[in-house]
């Protein structure tokens, strides 16, 4: 039982940590992607394409077993948190970009016509409108990220799924144990969904 709680706490920590850092990094990436400087735009696009087009499990294996070969070694939990953050940041950036794209062109043109700088038009015109559009997609990414943390179990992090596996090894009751683990994920996802719902009603 304590193993299950420990696994659940690890899943929570991994989810929370990765989502916050994915959001921060995602903002940086989206600013690069919509900037007016072609080189920066290229960097932003390359980032998104690189991380979105390779499966998360492959990234995890590459970071966990590949980096030590060139002398870089972190504890497994932190390696997993970094990989999940980098990966999900690409999705966050795309969700944010869709929010920006949803703001009518005329808005940006009007802001420029009024003499606002790029930063000012982002801050006062584009971001407040875009933010409302991205609450729902970000919520979806948060839930997907929660499920994705179970892949960390494949590289040795004892999170909820790996903990369930270990308990099953002794108890031999897979249906019961994995239904239990599934319910834990369900509660997590439902909680996130409820928060997103309230935020949406407030802002959107």
Partner 1 sequence: MGKLLTSLSLALLLTGCAGGESAVPGSTTTADQLMAKAPVAGELPAGSTMDKIRKRGELLVGGSLDAPLLSQQNPATGEVTGFDAELSRLLAKYIIGEPRTKLVTATSETREPLLANGTVDVIFQTYTITPKRAERVAFAGPYYESGQSIAVRKGTSGVTKPADLDGKTVIAGANTPAVTAIQQVAPKAKILELGSDPECLTALKQGRADAYVQDQSILIADASLDRDIQLVGDPFTTDPYGIGLKHGDAEFKTFVNDWLREIQRSGLWHEVWRGSIGTVVKGEAPVPPAIGSAQGS
| Binding flag, residue 55, partner 1 (CB under 8 A) | no
Tell me 121's DSSP state.
H
CB of 188 to partner 1, least distance (A): 21
| Binding flag, residue 113, partner 1 (CB under 8 A) | no
CB of 27 to partner 1, least distance (A): 33
Tell me which residue of 84, 64, 83, 66 sits closest to 74, measured CA to CA: 64
Stretch 63-82 residues interacting with partner 1 (CB under 8 A) = 65-66, 68-70, 73, 76
Q: What is the DSSP string of 54-118?
A: S-HHHHHHIIIIIGGGGT----HHHHHHHHHHHHHHHHHHHHHHHHHHHS-HHHHHHHHHTT--H
Tell me 122's DSSP state.
I
Q: Which is nearer to partner 1, 136 or 168 (CB)?
A: 168
Binder of partner 1 out of 4, 168, 180, 189 (CB under 8 A): 168
> Distance between CA 51 and CA 91 in Å, rounded?
9
| Binding flag, residue 155, partner 1 (CB under 8 A) | yes
- Give the count of residues interacting with partner 1 (CB under 8 A): 23
Query: Would you state the structure tokens that stand for residue 32, as one six-digit string?
Result: 């690069």
Q: Which is nearer to partner 1, 8 or 167 (CB)?
A: 167
Q: Which is nearer to partner 1, 37 or 69 (CB)?
A: 69
| Binding flag, residue 160, partner 1 (CB under 8 A) | no
> Distance between CA 184 and CA 150 in Å, rounded?
12
CB of 180 to partner 1, least distance (A): 13
| Binding flag, residue 42, partner 1 (CB under 8 A) | no
Contacts of 162 (CB under 8 A, 6+ apart): 7, 152, 153, 156
| Binding flag, residue 1, partner 1 (CB under 8 A) | no
| Binding flag, residue 179, partner 1 (CB under 8 A) | no
Q: Which is nearer to partner 1, 68 or 128 (CB)?
A: 68
The percent of the chain in helix, strand and coil, each rounded to the nearest 5, is: 90, 0, 10
Which residues in this chain contact partner 1 in the complex, by CB under 8 A? 65-66, 68-70, 73, 76, 154-156, 158, 162, 165-166, 168-175, 178
């Amino acid at each position: 039982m304590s193993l299950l709680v420990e696994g659940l706490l690890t899943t929570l920590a991994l989810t929370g940590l990765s989502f916050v850092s994915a959001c921060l990094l995602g903002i940086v990436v989206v600013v690069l992607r919509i900037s007016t400087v072609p080189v920066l735009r290229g960097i932003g696009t390359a980032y998104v394409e690189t991380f979105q087009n390779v499966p998360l499990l492959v990234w995890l294996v590459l970071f966990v077993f590949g980096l030590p070969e060139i002398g870089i070694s972190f504890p497994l939990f932190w390696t997993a948190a970094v990989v999940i953050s980098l990966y999900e940041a690409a999705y966050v950036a795309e969700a944010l970009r869709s929010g920006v794209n949803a703001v009518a062109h005329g808005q940006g043109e009007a802001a420029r016509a009024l003499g606002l700088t790029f930063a000012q038009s982002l801050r006062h015109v584009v971001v407040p409108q875009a933010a409302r559009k991205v609450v729902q997609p970000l919520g979806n990414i948060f839930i997907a990220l929660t499920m994705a943390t179970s892949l960390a179990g494949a590289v040795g992090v004892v999170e909820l799924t790996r903990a369930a596996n270990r308990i099953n090894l002794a108890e031999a009751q897979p249906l019961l144990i994995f239904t239990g683990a599934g319910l834990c994920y369900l509660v997590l996802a439902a909680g996130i969904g409820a928060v997103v719902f309230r935020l949406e009603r407030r802002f959107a």
